[in-house]
Structure 1
Amino acid sequence: MAAVLAPTLVSTLWPAPSGSSRAARNVLLALVGTLALTVSAKTQIPFWPVPMTMQTFVVLVIGMAYGARLGVATIALYLLEGALGLPVFAGTPEKGVGLAYMMGPTGGYLLGFVAGAWLCGWLAERGFDRSPLRTLVAMSLGHALIFVFGVSWLAQLIGFDKAFATGVAPFWAATIVKTLLGVATLPLAWKWIGRLK
C-alpha cells in the first residue's frame, strides 16, 4: 500500500492541473527555481570566516517547497543550464563555465544539490516542513548530504584532510545560519497558509 504523501507548499498554493497545463506549471516553477538558484549563487553576503552565498538554503527550500520530483527536476535543469555554458554558478564566468567548471573542485557539491533537494523534498512530503523541530532535522540532513558529496569529490583531488579543511570547516557557521533560516521560514509559511484558509 502506497504511503499518502503530505501536500507540498507549492501544491497547496498552486494545485497542479491536469494535462498540458500541469506540464506548463511545472516548467514555469522549474525556471523560477533556476533563476532563484542563480541569484543565490551570485549573491555574496559578508560573513565569517568566508563570504556566504544562500545557494544551499535555496536548494533545500526548493526541495521542500516543490517536493522530491519537481525539486530534483529543478536542480537538474539548473545543472543542465550550467553544463551548456550559461554562467549560473558561483564564480562563473570568471572561473570558467560548462562541463569544465562542473568537473572542478565544486563538482561534488553540485551533485550534492540533487541529493539534498531530493532528501528534503522526500521528507517534506512526509510533513517535515510543518514544525520547527522536524524542519531542523530535514535541513540539517540536507546540508550534511551536500557536504558528503562535496567533500568526497574534493578528497579525490586534494585528499580528505585538505578537503575537509577547505570544503567544510570555513562554512559551518554559515550552514547553521541557513539551516535556522529554513527552520524559521518553512513552518511560518505553513502557518501563513493556514490563516489564509
Structure 2
Amino acid sequence: MEILKTHSLTKTLKIFLLIFLGTVALTVSAKIKIPFYPVPMTMQTFVVLFLGLAFGYKIGLTTVGVYLLEGIIGIPVFSNSPEKGIGLVYFTGPTMGYLIGFLSAVFFAGYLNLKNNILIVFSKLIFSVSTIYIFGALWLGTLIGWDKPILALGVTPFLLAELFKICLLALLAKKIIEIRRFI
C-alpha cells in the first residue's frame, strides 16, 4: 500500500512539473518574436501543438488552461503583455478567440494517432491549428465588426508561418510522442 502511495505521489509531482514547464514554454514562446514574412511570428502555436503531442490531451489541456488562467489573473504571460495590458482586460481583447482556440488545438493534437503516415499527421495538425484561427476570426469579427476584412487581418498574415511550424512538427511528431512514455 505504501509503495502505491509513493508511486502515485511521484506521478502527481511529475505531472505538476510538466504543467509548470509547459506554461513556462508557452510564456517564453509568446515573448520571442521571430522575423518572418509577412509578419513576425511567435512559436506559441508550435508549443501548443507540441504540448498536445508530447503530453497527450489531458495534461496538454490542463497546461494550456493553467496558462490562460495565469494570464487572466494578471501574470504577464501573453504576447504583448504587459505592454498592451494584463489580466482579463488583455484576455478579452482582440486575441481572446485565438487564446481560447489554444484549448481546442491542444486537445486535437493530443488526440492524434501517430501510427499514421506523415501526410495524415500533417493533415491532423493542420486541422488542430485551424481551430485556433476559427475561434480567433469569430471573436475578432464580433469585436471589431464583420464589415472589416477579418481573414485579411487575423488569419492570412500568419498562414505561411503556421505552415512552417506544422511541417516541422509533422516531421518530429513520432519522436515527440515518445515523451509520453515517461509521464
Pair 1:183 & 2:147 matched: no
Post-superposition shift, 1:162?
Answer: 2.4
Change (3 A) 1:190 1:109: closer
Secondary structure in structure 2 of the residue aligned to 1:67: helix
What aligned pairs does 1:146-165 form with structure 2 within 5 A after superposition? 146-160=132-146, 161-165=148-152
Name the count of aligned residue pairs.
174
Question: Matches of residues 130-141 of structure 1 in structure 2 within 5 Å?
Answer: 131-141=117-127
Listed as ranges, the gaps of 5+ residues in structure 2 are 1-5
Q: Distance in 2 between matches of 1:63 and 1:24?
A: 19
- The offset of 1:188, in angstroms, is 4.2
- Looking at structure 2, the residues matched to 188 and 176 of structure 1 have their Cα atoms a distance apart, in angstroms, of 19
Residue from 41, 52, 68 that aligns with 1:79:
68
Paired amino acid for 2:51: I
Does the CA contact (< 8 Å) of 1:130 and 1:190 recur in 2? no
Report if aligned partners of 2:53, 2:177 keep a CA contact under 8 Å in 1: no
- For 1:40 and 1:76, how far apart are their aligned partners in 2? 16
Normalising by structure 2, we get a TM-score of 0.88
Q: 1: CA distance between counterparts of 2:98 and 2:83?
A: 19
Structure 1: gaps (5+ residues): 1-16
Query: Residue by residue, what CA displacement relative to the aligned partner does 1:63-106 show, whole Å, maximum 9, x if unpaired?
Result: 11111111000000101111111111100000000010000000
* RMSD across aligned positions (CA): 2.0
For residue 34 of structure 1, what is the aligned residue in structure 2? 23
CA deviation string 1:34-86 (max 9, x = no partner): 01101110111100110011100100110111111110000001011111111
Label 1:189 to 1:119 Cα distance change in 2 as closer, same or farther (>3 A).
closer
8 A Cα contact 1:108 1:154, kept in partner: yes
Distance 2:163 2:69 in 1: 29
In the superposition, the TM-score normalised over structure 1's length comes to 0.82
Q: After the TM superposition, which residues 167-182 of structure 1 pair with which residues of structure 2 at under 5 Å, given as runs?
A: 167-182=154-169
User: 1:16-45 deviations in whole A, cap 9, x for unaligned?
Assistant: x84222211111000000011011101111
Greater than 3 Å deviation, 4+ residue runs? 188-193
Pair 1:166-2:160 in alignment: no
Kindly tell me: are residues 65 and 98 of structure 1, through their superposed partners in 2, closer, same or farther at Cα, counting changes over 3 Å? same
1:64 and 1:129 in contact (8 A); partners too: no
Partner-residue secondary structure (3-state), 2:99:
helix
Contact 1:120–1:139 (8 Å) recurs in 2: yes
% same residue: 43
Q: Is the 8 A contact 1:132 1:184 kept in 2?
A: yes
